[in-house]
Amino acid sequence: GAGVSQSPSNKVTEKGKDVELRCDPISGHTALYWYRQSLGQGLEFLIYFQGNSAPDKSGLPSDRFSAERTGGSVSTLTIQRTQQEDSAVYLCASSPGTSGRGLYNEQFFGPGTRLTVL
């Protein structure tokens, strides 16, 4: 079946512009996560959606970042007034809560969107 998809795969923008990054999770997955991965760095948590609960926004680095998840499925991460330090790969992951492997809360990652702010 289809995995997590993200679009666009690459985005080049100018400083000060707004960008929207899209994530299509695996159908039926109740949890959705956004992470940021800078060159040579680990994964920085941004935001977490779980079902109909209020999202955990504790990882968003500034009020220029926001995300929404419509209908419990597709999610959009919006970065307003982009800065050069926003350049990174933005990864989305979804989770069913439990998986067929009996593993707790396994996350399935998309391929990421590489954002470059000039």
Q: How far is the CB of 37 from other proteins (least distance, A)?
A: 9
Residues 26 and 107: their CA atoms lie apart, in Å, by 10
- CB nearer to other proteins: give 42 or 71: 42
Q: Does 11 bind other proteins (CB under 8 A)?
A: no
For residues 117 and 54, is the Cβ–Cβ distance under 8 A? no
Q: Which residues of 52-75 are buried (b: 16+ CB within 10 A; e: fewer)?
A: eeebeeeebeeeebebebeeeeeb
Q: Measured in whole angstroms, how far is the alpha carbon of residue 65 from the centre of its chain?
A: 11
In the complex, minimum distance from the CB of residue 15 to other proteins, in angstroms, rounded to a whole number: 25
- Minimum distance, C-beta of residue 91 to other proteins, in the bound complex (Å): 6
Residues 57-76 close enough to bind other proteins by CB under 8 A: 58-59
Count, residues near other proteins per rule CB under 8 A: 26
SS3 for 72? helix
Instruction: Report, in Å, the least distance between residue 62 CB and other proteins.
Output: 18
Q: Which residues bind other proteins (CB under 8 A)?
A: 4, 33, 35, 40-45, 48, 50, 56, 58-59, 91, 93, 103-112
